[in-house]
């Protein structure tokens, strides 16, 4: 018996919203029904298609005829748009960050429970094969007790990036680099090692005076098992992204997940174990003037479909998305003003 397609709608047709649309339309078990954006020029991308166009979320939710809403709006709108959709009875895919305040992400979870609907939080770097390999090593105890984790996230974001969208670089709508650029790395830290406690941090704005935010930071953290964590980030890498890397020193081995997008195993020396060669053609989200994280949104859409059909478990739950927001809040709270 042929299964019905899962029907999707999208609010927010910036770079990431268009990426959601492309992957939904490419999936044989998905159907893109409606899109919504307040900008007519954004809606024009779908002029020649059968997708219904809206410039008002309430109207799109009222017309319905879909199962899942992808929320791809600016950071500060993730919570209100998700809650509105949940209250109308829709499942939600929420782009990162889940929210910019943990009180908002906690409210989102309550609303999902009341509506008996699911929030799928987008953390596509979890699908990276090197990340999955190291996750298995940790779960199986092959690496033994972790001692020290070093996280380096060194990207480039220039003036063109911030001029592309008025909300970027603003304290209220953006929230900061840890929310917009590097929440994926906070998520992978949590995904691999569980809850972490932030001890201290420093941030600076070295090269982006036209923003309200920091562009670089260093943090000292500790995992629940007692491992030390150095977390370093910057958007000042000269002209292009340099790396996104996790180096793990543990009782029975050392391993480094590296490349620009956590897409390679750069080093391994593990007692009685060798991670198989991983050959990933780096497929970053390419936005022309800058690049984002690995483009695994196709796997995310697949997970949504399989989860709703009862064929798989959710990759990133709302509770996990909430915890990442809480960790980022704790990181910013550890920073003392000069």
Q: Dihedral of CA 299/301/302/308: which sign? A: positive
**By C-alpha distance, which of 29, 28, 46 is closest to 37?**
46
Under the banding of pLDDT at 50, 70 and 90, the label for residue 67 is: very high
* pLDDT per residue as tens digits for the range 222-257: 999 999 999 999 999 999 999 999 999 999 999 999
| Domains of the chain, first to last | 6-121 (3.40.50.720), 126-294 (3.30.360.10)
Half-sphere exposure of 262 (CA within 13 A, CB side): 30
- Residue 124: its pLDDT value, please? 93
- Residue 284: its pLDDT value, please? 54
Does 24 score more than 90 pLDDT? yes
By the 8 A CB rule, do 161 and 182 touch? no
Does 280 score more than 80 pLDDT? no
Does 282 score more than 80 pLDDT? no
* Region 87-92 average pLDDT: 98
Residue-wise burial string across 56-71, b where 16 or more C-beta atoms lie within 10 A, e elsewhere:
ebeebbeeeebbbbbb
* Region 266-295 average pLDDT: 72
- Residue 48: its pLDDT value, please? 79
Distance separating alpha carbons of residues 305 and 29, to the nearest angstrom: 8
By the 8 A CB rule, do 43 and 35 touch? yes
Is the entire prediction scored with pTM above 0.85?
yes
Under the banding of pLDDT at 50, 70 and 90, the label for residue 167 is: very high
Does 87 score more than 60 pLDDT? yes
- Residue 3: its pLDDT value, please? 87
Does 15 score more than 60 pLDDT? yes
* Region 107-130 average pLDDT: 97
What separation, in Å, do the N-terminal and C-terminal C-alpha atoms of the chain show? Answer: 66
By the 8 A CB rule, do 13 and 42 touch? yes
* Stretch among 54-58, 107-111, 133-137, 280-284 having the lowest mean pLDDT: 280-284
- Residue 45: its pLDDT value, please? 87
Percentage of the chain lying above the pLDDT 70 cut: 94
* Stretch among 8-17, 228-237, 293-302 having the lowest mean pLDDT: 293-302
* pLDDT per residue as tens digits for the range 171-226: 999 999 999 999 999 999 999 999 999 999 999 999 999 999 999 999 999 999 99
Half-sphere exposure of 206 (CA within 13 A, CB side): 13
- Residue 291: its pLDDT value, please? 57
Instruction: Specify the DSSP class assigned to residue 332.
Output: H
Under the banding of pLDDT at 50, 70 and 90, the label for residue 30 is: very high
Query: What backbone torsions phi and psi does residue 16 show, to the nearest 5 degrees?
Result: -75, -35
């Amino acid at each position: 018996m042929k299964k019905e397609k899962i029907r999707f709608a999208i609010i927010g047709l910036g770079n990431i919203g268009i990426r959601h649309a492309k992957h939904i339309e490419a999936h044989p078990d998905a159907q893109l029904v409606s899109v919504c954006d307040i900008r007519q020029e954004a809606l024009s991308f779908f002029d020649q298609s059968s997708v219904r166009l809206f410039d008002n979320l309430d109207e799109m939710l009222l017309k319905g005829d879909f199962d899942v809403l992808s929320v791809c709006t600016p950071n500060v709108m993730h919570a209100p748009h998700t809650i509105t959709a949940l209250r109308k009875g829709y499942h939600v895919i929420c782009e990162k960050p889940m929210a910019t305040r943990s009180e908002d992400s906690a409210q989102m979870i309550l609303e999902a429970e009341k509506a008996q609907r699911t929030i799928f939080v987008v953390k596509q770097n979890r699908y990276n094969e090197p990340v999955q390999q190291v996750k298995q090593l940790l779960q199986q105890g092959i690496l033994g007790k972790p001692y020290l984790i070093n996280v380096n996230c060194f990207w480039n974001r220039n003036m063109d990036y911030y001029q592309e969208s008025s909300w970027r670089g603003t304290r209220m709508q953006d929230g900061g680099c840890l929310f917009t650029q590097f929440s994926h790395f906070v998520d992978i830290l949590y995904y691999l090692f569980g809850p972490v406690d932030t001890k201290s941090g420093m941030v600076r704005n070295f090269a982006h005076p036209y923003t309200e935010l920091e562009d670089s930071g260093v943090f000292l953290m500790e995992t629940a098992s007692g491992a030390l964590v150095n977390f370093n980030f910057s958007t000042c890498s000269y002209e292009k992204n340099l790396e996104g890397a996790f180096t793990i020193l543990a009782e029975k081995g050392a391993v480094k997940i590296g490349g620009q997008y956590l897409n390679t195993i750069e080093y391994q020396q593990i007692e009685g174990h060798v991670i198989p060669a991983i050959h990933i053609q780096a497929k970053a989200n390419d936005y022309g003037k800058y690049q984002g994280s690995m483009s695994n949104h196709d796997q995310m859409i697949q997970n949504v479909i399989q989860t709703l059909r009862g064929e798989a478990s959710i990759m990133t739950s709302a509770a996990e998305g909430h915890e990442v927001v809480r960790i980022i809040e704790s990181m910013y709270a550890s920073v003392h003003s000069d």
